[in-house]
Amino acid sequence: MYVLITPRRQMGVAVPKDQLSKLPPFKGDVQIVESQCSALGRITREAFILNSVGHARDALPRLLDASVTSMGTQGLIISGIEQIEEAFYFQSWWCRFE
């Protein structure tokens, strides 16, 4: 699903609502799949931005244990856990059509 994606947290801390719409969004093809996660040692549902180049780095860290937590006329929210280096942080993506 090609959408504009705005991460709603930075290192696990919520971005204030008045600043969310000012952040430049990422444009990409959001995918959600179940796969084996070596970091968690189990199968998890991952949300990610599909790269057209196989060896390119992900535009955003993948969301582990991802789920759609809300949906409405302004888009949808996908929430999960992102891994940055060795730490895990809660993250939500605000996804919307242009």
Distances (CA, A) of 24 to 43, 46, 59, 74, 88: 32, 23, 13, 16, 23
Check pLDDT > 60 for residue 79.
yes
Q: Which residues pair with 74 in a beta bridge?
A: none
pLDDT band at 24 (very low <50, low <70, confident <90, very high): very high
The pair of structure tokens assigned to 93 is 């993506």
Pairwise CA distance, residues 17 & 27, whole Å: 20
What are the structural domain ranges in the chain?
2-96
For the segment 75-88, the average pLDDT, to the nearest whole number, is 95
Summary mean pLDDT of the chain: 91
pLDDT tens-place string over residues 43-60: 999 999 987 555 566 788
Give the type of residue at 50: L
Q: Is the pTM of this model over 0.75?
A: yes
